[in-house]
Amino acid sequence: METGNIIPDFLGYNAEGNKVSASEFSGKPLIIYFYPKDNTPGCTAEACSLRDGYTELQQMGYTVIGISKDSVASHIKFANKYSLPFLLLSDPETEVNQAFGVWQKKKMAGREYMGTVRTTFVTDADHRITHVITKVDTKNSAAQLVSLLSK
């Protein structure tokens, strides 16, 4: 997905295991961030940064949604452990990751594997992508978004 595209309707599964659709957020601009794994250093830093900047992002009119391949149970533990006030969605089959183009070949320690490339998408109220952040500053992701969206 790139700037100008309308996001897919299906976004993943919520804490109750129910499907969540973009249409449920009709008329609301979204910040959708894809991250590799709950409880890892970079993902925790990013989630906590967004938690700490959540009120400001909400005041700017945005709804924040985090998406990863992790299970619903993992998301519930992660959200509770770090008091995350926003929605975390599970994408166990990587359907949403693939639709957004963030499920890609990665390399670590000489090993190649498929995984989520950390990416943040910002949409307008019609869910058309206005910004794509591929170089996410995990420790300052909320400030990075506020700076970008204040221009």
> Six-digit token pair at 67?
């998406």
SS3 of residue 38 by DSSP = coil
| 48 neighbors 39 (Cβ within 8 angstroms) | no
Q: Which of 31, 43, 88, 89 is flagged as catalytic?
A: 43
Whether 43 sits among the annotated catalytic residues: the reply is yes
SS3 of residue 53 by DSSP = coil
CB atoms within 10 A of CB 151: 5
What's the Cα-to-Cα distance from 101 to each of 1, 60, 106, 113, 148, rounded to whole Å? 6, 27, 13, 15, 22
The Cα–Cα gap between 137 and 151 comes to: 18
Catalytic positions = 43
